[in-house]
Amino acid sequence: MKILLYNDTYQHLGGAETYCLELLSILPELGHEVYWLSHGEGENNVEDNHIVLPHYNEGKINYFYSKYFFNFQAYKHIKEQLELIQPDVVHLHHNRYYSFSILKALKETQIPTIQTIHDYTMLCPSQYYPDLYYKNSSSNKIKKDCPLICSHGDCLPWKEKIGHPVAHDRKRKKIIQKVSSFIAPSVQLKKYLERAGFQNVVHLPFFIDEKKWSFNIERENKNVILFVGRVEKNKGIYQLIEAVIELKKEIKDIQLIIAGGGSQVEFIRKKIKEENLISFIDVLGFIDYNEIGKYYNQGNVLVVPSLDMEQFGLIGIEGLASGIAVIGSNRGGIPEWCIHEKTGLLFNPENLEELSQQIKRILLEKGLAKRLTLEGMNYIKKVYNKKQHFEKLIRLYQTAKKVQ
């Protein structure tokens, strides 16, 4: 089968790109011909079966129009690639920048299409505004207990409140009409998608190839806390820093390593310098994905402190596959793999004291980290294994092709 993956960026920014790279690597081993189509500036740094088109949305007006209406250049060049490759099925991932252009090209070429939903932006326009999860929100409101599919954007900054929800609703309806089936990596996301009117939603969790990770529960270091991912306000990074500062009063040799790029990296470096925290907080910045494994093996506890609705939290099962104990916020799809007191520990993301206590337990309670990690590894081998994932994914491709 000839399969085309589409993601709106080729840069390795998060779980969607990690997943695309895995598909690009593994599907050919199973006898399929695979291509990846995306946008960016990396034409000279990608594999032959990865086509990187330029972006066509420079300028604020063009960006908004491309995102919520139509971009002729994007449509033209995407359609050219579809006609050139002639895939049996297109597997969409993030398609936020040129949604209407892609859908028009797919309709005219009549190629069967499925889509993996990688976050909650499809459901709620507020997901584009991470400041809404932080006390310095420009709207002076903090998102809390949001139903996610209201679409009227009460919590949005006032400038965006007027037009954004209307355009967002229109885009969502068009995607529901044009895409034959959807993949939700978490049960929680599947439920929200179905409540929002999405049809043919299949739960297919991400997989872990444990052979890629060095499983090690005997940690040489002590009291090292690790954060891996996008360094953004909605990822709970400031709350984690505050929790570690508080724990420093009791655990003198505590260390926090922050690995990842994002808009808050330089702000956090400035905060660390100004508040004289440099002795126990290290901000590494962007880390190549192939290097992340060694950091998983340096830490004693991996914290996934997201304030917003993580659709899955792939970093968590990577950590478990590496033998590091994991703490996650009780939000979105995280509790599906971070089962409290079994495969990890959960905390309520608004509760700093609870986060501090869970970190303290991992670091100080004898045997707890080892028990959780062993249980976690057994669990992910059973639930998130590669063989099961690809058997189900290939069936979805075949079904989409038959339906068309």
pTM for the whole structure:
0.89
With vertex at residue 61, the alpha carbon angle to CA 58 and CA 63, rounded to the nearest 5 degrees, is 45
The pLDDT assigned to 145 comes to 57
Same domain, 313 and 398: no
Same domain, 399 and 370: no
Chain segment 370-386, per-residue pLDDT in tens: 999 999 999 999 999 99
- Which range has the worst mean pLDDT, 34-48, 182-196, 320-334, 373-387? 34-48
Q: In 3D, which of 160, 107, 105 has the Cα closest to residue 137?
A: 160
Same domain, 162 and 18: yes
| pLDDT classification of 277: cutoffs 50, 70, 90 | very high
Contact 30, 387 (CB under 8 A): no
Residue 308 scores a pLDDT above 90: no
- Please state, rounded to an integer, the average pLDDT across all residues of the chain: 88
Using the CB atoms, write b or e for 25-35: b if 16+ within 10 Å.
ebbeeeebebb
The pLDDT assigned to 153 comes to 60
Contact 152, 165 (CB under 8 A): yes
The pLDDT assigned to 154 comes to 65
CATH code assigned at 397: 3.40.50.2000
Residue 149 scores a pLDDT above 60: no
- Which range has the worst mean pLDDT, 58-67, 68-77, 314-323? 58-67
The parent domain of residue 34 ranges over: 2-207+385-403
Burial class of residue 181 (count of CB atoms within 10 Å of its CB; 0-12, 13-18, 19+): middle
Same domain, 137 and 268: no
Task: State the average pLDDT over residues 156-176.
Answer: 80
Same domain, 158 and 227: no
- Which range has the worst mean pLDDT, 85-89, 160-164, 195-199, 318-322? 160-164
Same domain, 166 and 262: no
Task: State the average pLDDT over residues 77-101.
Answer: 95
How many separate domains does the chain show?
2
Same domain, 105 and 246: no
| pLDDT classification of 124: cutoffs 50, 70, 90 | confident
Same domain, 218 and 108: no
| pLDDT classification of 140: cutoffs 50, 70, 90 | very low
Same domain, 134 and 251: no
Same domain, 229 and 345: yes
Contact 293, 213 (CB under 8 A): yes
| Helix, strand, or coil (residue 58) | coil
Same domain, 316 and 340: yes
Q: In 3D, which of 401, 380, 393 has the Cα closest to residue 111?
A: 401
Task: State the average pLDDT over residues 254-277.
Answer: 94
Same domain, 238 and 345: yes
- CA–CA separation, 191 vs 194, rounded Å? 5
- Which range has the worst mean pLDDT, 75-84, 150-159, 278-287, 356-365? 150-159
Residue 198 scores a pLDDT above 90: yes
The pLDDT assigned to 60 comes to 84
